[in-house]
């Protein structure tokens, strides 16, 4: 199964690449989750949130071609329901269009009928990315509120 998300963002390819790969910027639109890696081909990455007990996702950077293309394996770890889904793939494609960029995120190698938690957050993430790069503001979404409350 394959899910494709496409959005246009008024930014440069370099700034968009930075927002995808910089842990601090990424956390601002990715539900507070930081993605740590050295962003070289074949290297690993880990997604973590300060309030989570362990990593939320991990994978490998299969193809790294800044600022045009990033292909990663993706193994979700935030619940037993998603862990059993195994590894899928996420491809980020950046294409300049005049003073903007077209960003396509392709989440594929998903089993037919895969748990929609694996791909259901993409519209919120990409909307947050667009808002951050175009306005400097953070977008409030159900995903961004997930870890926002202090533990009891």
Question: Distances from the Cα of 49 to the Cαs of 23, 54, 98, 131, in angstroms?
Answer: 11, 8, 36, 21
- Alpha helices by DSSP H, listed for 11-139, are 13-21, 23-29, 80-83, 122-135
Instruction: Please report the pLDDT score of residue 143 as a whole number.
Output: 87
Question: Distances from the Cα of 60 to the Cαs of 2, 35, 63, 90, 121, in angstroms?
Answer: 19, 12, 9, 10, 20
- Given a cut of 50, whether residue 152 has pLDDT beyond it is no
pLDDT in tens, 33-75: 999 999 999 999 999 999 999 999 999 999 999 999 999 999 9
Instruction: Please report the pLDDT score of residue 145 as a whole number.
Output: 85
Q: What average pLDDT does the segment 95-101 reach?
A: 98
CA–CA dist 29, 23 (Å, integer):
11
Q: What is the mean pLDDT of the chain?
A: 95
Which tokens go with 64?
């790294």
Q: Which domains does the chain have, with CATH numbers?
A: 3-137 (3.30.530.20)
Instruction: Please report the pLDDT score of residue 91 as a whole number.
Output: 98
109: left (phi over 0), alpha (psi -120 to 50) or beta: left
pLDDT in tens, 17-37: 999 999 999 999 999 999 999
- Given a cut of 60, whether residue 151 has pLDDT beyond it is no
Q: What average pLDDT does the segment 137-149 reach?
A: 84
Instruction: Please report the pLDDT score of residue 146 as a whole number.
Output: 79
- Given a cut of 50, whether residue 142 has pLDDT beyond it is yes
CA–CA dist 91, 110 (Å, integer):
13
């Amino acid at each position: 199964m394959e899910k494709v998300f496409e959005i246009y963002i008024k930014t440069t390819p370099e700034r968009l690449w930075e927002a995808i790969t910089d842990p601090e910027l990424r956390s601002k639109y990715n539900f507070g989750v930081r993605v740590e890696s050295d962003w070289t081909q074949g290297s690993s990455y880990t997604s973590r949130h300060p309030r989570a007990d362990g990593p939320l996702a991990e994978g490998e950077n299969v193809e790294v071609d800044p600022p045009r293309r990033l292909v990663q394996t993706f193994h979700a770890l935030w619940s037993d329901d998603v862990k059993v889904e195994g590894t899928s793939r996420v491809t980020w494609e950046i294409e300049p269009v005049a003073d903007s960029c077209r960003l396509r995120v392709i989440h594929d190698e998903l089993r037919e009928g895969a748990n929609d938690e694996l791909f259901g957050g993409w519209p919120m993430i990409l909307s947050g990315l667009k808002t951050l790069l175009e306005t400097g503001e953070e977008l409030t979404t159900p995903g961004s509120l997930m870890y926002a409350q202090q533990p009891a």
